[in-house]
Amino acid sequence: MAIRSTLLPLFSLVIVSSSGQNFVPNYSFDDHSSCPSLFNQITLSTSWNKSLVNNVAPHHVDYMHTCGSNDFMAPNGFWGFQAPATGQALAAISTKSPLAPNYRENIYAQLIAPLTPGEFYTLSMKISHTDLTAGATDNLGIRLSTTTDFPVDNFSHLHATSVMSDEVNWVTLSGSIIADSAYAYVGVGNFYTDANTTAVTVCSSCPYVHNEYYIDDICILPHTKNGDPVYCDVAFDPLSTATKDMETLGLTVQPTLVDGSNSLVMIRSNHGEPLHLILMDALGRVVDNSVAIGANGSTTMDVSRLPNGTYTLTTQGSGRAVKGTKLVILR
């Protein structure tokens, strides 16, 4: 295995805004053109649209609001009781159907502004399984796109890796990426095929066979800001409000044969403070954030499970400095 590392040019962290603006418009579905009263009225929620799957529009993407009527007045929605996580509204989508292969009820919205390639962002959303539906799945999550096309092709930027079945509480799903494109749209749903989705029965006595979820508070936040304490349940150490040049962290990366399998990377630092290490793949997805390194110390990172490719190793310390190191794994 050959492992190469190259220090990337120094760059600056620029604070996007003092408020830590969420890039997702109408992220809690509160704003609306009129109040819901029927099935499949998600488009009444300002900015949100139904995503075509195999050129077929979903026929059951539902919208619940406290101003709604019939079975669409939150918190007593058609699919079961749940108060909005915040605000006055929520959406209801299906992640898989036992009645139609690869049926999805995915939705999307245009972002307030495109993401900046190379910048860190945190993605998060709140999920609650509906208490009147029998099935539950994994893979519900967030996908970014430069267009309004959101295919079901086994990829998303953030998704639940285990079956989500909590029908009492709101569960926050969150993760971080480095944007690799100027993404202008966000999609929410299950972007994995039936063959790659785990579905289980969690309520054999429930009246509906669907795999249905309530969702709320869709969030894309610049990583360099504090998470919004109400709508984005991810908090980060605040950075200086001024632009700051990155410090040189004195990091060296080399392969090591410590374990006899050539599967470890040795990381040494001559920086005078502990550092947290984050390894991301070429798409900006975090593949390892479990390793820390002491002041003027060394550590190892196990890369045996990673496929060949180019990765970015970033380091963060109390000085808020982040430095990118390109890591190429060749076997």
Q: What are the domain boundaries of the chain?
A: 2-14+241-330, 42-222
Q: What span, in angstroms and rounded, lies between the C-alpha atoms of 203 and 30?
A: 30
Residue 295 has pLDDT above 60, yes or no: yes
Show Cβ contacts of residue 56 under 8 Å, excluding neighbours closer than 6 positions.
Answer: none
Q: Per-residue confidence at 161, pLDDT binned at 50, 70, 90?
A: very high
Residue 251 has pLDDT above 70, yes or no: no
Range 2-14+241-330 classified under CATH 2.60.40.3080: yes
Question: In whole angstroms, how far apart are CA 63 and each of 122, 127, 179, 280?
Answer: 25, 15, 30, 36
pLDDT higher at 134 or 175? 134
Cis peptide before 117 (omega within 30 of 0): no
Range 42-222 classified under CATH 2.60.120.260: yes
Q: What span, in angstroms and rounded, lies between the C-alpha atoms of 289 and 15?
A: 23
Long-range contacts, 251-259 (Cβ 8 Å, 24+): 251/7, 251/275, 251/313, 251/315, 251/323, 251/325, 252/5, 253/3, 253/5, 253/313, 253/325, 253/327, 254/3, 254/5, 255/1, 255/2, 255/3, 256/300, 258/300
Tens digits of residue pLDDT in 8-22? 322 222 222 223 578
Tens digits of residue pLDDT in 180-205? 999 999 999 999 999 999 999 999 99
Residue 302 CA, chain-centre distance (Å), reads 24
Query: Which pLDDT belongs to residue 252?
Result: 54
Tens digits of residue pLDDT in 73-104? 999 999 999 999 988 999 999 999 988 889 99
φ, ψ of residue 86 to 5 degrees: the values are -145, 160
Query: Which pLDDT belongs to residue 79?
Result: 96
Count CB atoms within 10 A of the CB of residue 301: 20
Q: Per-residue confidence at 36, pLDDT binned at 50, 70, 90?
A: very high
Q: Per-residue confidence at 262, pLDDT binned at 50, 70, 90?
A: low
Q: Is 17 helix (H, G, I), strand (E, B) or coil?
A: coil
